[in-house]
Structure 1
Amino acid sequence: MQLDDHISSIYFIGDVHAQHTKLEALLTEIDFDDTDPDSECKTAKLVFIGDLIDNKQTNNDQHIITLQRVQSLQKNGHALCLLGNHEFNAIGWASKNENGEFCRPHNEKNTKQHRAFLNAVGEGSAEHNRWIDWFKSLPLFLSFETVNAIHACWDEQAIERLKPYLNADNSLKEVHWVDAFNEQHELFELCEILLKGPERTLPDGEFFIDKTGTKRTQERVKWWQEYQGDKPVVIGHYTLNELPEPLTHKVVCVDYNAAKDDNVLVAYRVDTQLDADNEQLFGGAR
């Protein structure tokens, strides 16, 4: 993707999960004020890494105001937004296959994960459908001159296999959305890898309990340890802890669990003037 000549840096923003207050605090921290032409918005672009929605149900739900804020930044040319697995799941929840069944099962686990968003927009309402349509318009990956970005995993082979299913802006063609939730279709596997990350099955009898209290028999593969692609990659999705730092000199994750309590929302700034091979491209976080 070619950026305008005046853009000299990109701020990649981690998984927001309806934390509008934290988003505004981050924008203030980096001096990105879209009402002030002399702020960072003059020479910087925002890229949201996906997962704008879904959080535990609270009394101060911020789903709609978060979505409105990001969409406004996008429409006014200040930001781009990637499709995250939570937006992907939301599309499946609201869509039906040729058998009249919902593409994402409305079971107890999925309902618990998605309830706060559904309560905020009103399930089946015009508001709900409007946001689903917007989610469908979001690209699955972005490739800039010096850096790539995707929600969970940059896999060159999977991306090449995915391209025939995409529009020119890297969003999924409308006709293929049902295929993306069909486990018998190759698109299902591709979306699982790119938006949720590759996983491996644990040995028989082994399991762990994830952050939502769900029993898991598969664990995520740390694909970034083997990544040697031409460009560095920014991802989200992995709910990291401690102080932000690059995973490797080629991969940065910006998801530091902003959905939880007092955890801050993290952004990573990349200077677009640096060469992709420059070791300082991933030299620090803020």
Structure 2
Amino acid sequence: MNKKSTIQRIKLQRLDSLELFSASNSNKSFPLHYHETFCVSVIEKGAFIENSKTALQNSLLISNPLEIHKNSAFQNLDYSIKTLYISKDIFKFALGKNKVNNDFLLQNLITNNFLFDKFNQLSNQIIDSKNSFDSDFETNFIKFIEKIGQFKSNKKNTSNTTEPTWLENTKQYLKTNLAQKISLETLANQTKLDKFQFIRAFKKQVGLTPFQYILLSRISLTKQLLQEGNSITETALDAGFYDQSNFANYFKNYVGVTPRNYQQSFNILQD
């Protein structure tokens, strides 16, 4: 990379904990993962690949909630990107609950100068806000959501289909036991499948292996704990990471920065 890579994260208490991620001059790749929110990104420099789609400079890239994807730089060249993590509840508020149902998906790639300019205006206002916002910020943000909501995808949302009971039980078990050592044998025994049958069945249903799903769940928990100001050592143990080096490597692989840099760069803007 020719220039120093920088990263910034800002989380607001307003607008259902709206979060902004900003990375410049990066060529970081991200393995398979998903988000609970809509992720709306603008590519300010270079190109950014998501699955089989390539988002070019000045375009918008959107990941829908629970949409499994991986990202990489185009030909390992630097890119600069800003991402807003927007909850489905914000879309429901802006567009109406009758329009934002379980099948509501946005197009993954959008080329629209108005949306691009409005995104940059809003994201720069968040970065420069220093805990204060123009009175029109929320109004302009809702107008942005209303506009982007017009780019609805025709794809069928498969992430909200009814899960088999064994999968619901497995996810619940994982949620309540993340801090413990979890073996595939234990999970498989609960479903009355052998280990390899369980792995195949889980990946077919979820799109991730059990290991990938557990790892993402733990990373998600550590992000929350770090945001709350917990120490890195306590965070790792509370999420089931018993090797500090492995935790740091996994965290950087999925989040892009070390746990310490993540905690230091995460600002919480209050009303």
Structure 2 length-normalised TM: 0.31
Q: Which has the higher helix share?
A: 2
Structure 1 or 2: larger strand share?
2
Q: TM-score, normalised by structure 1?
A: 0.30
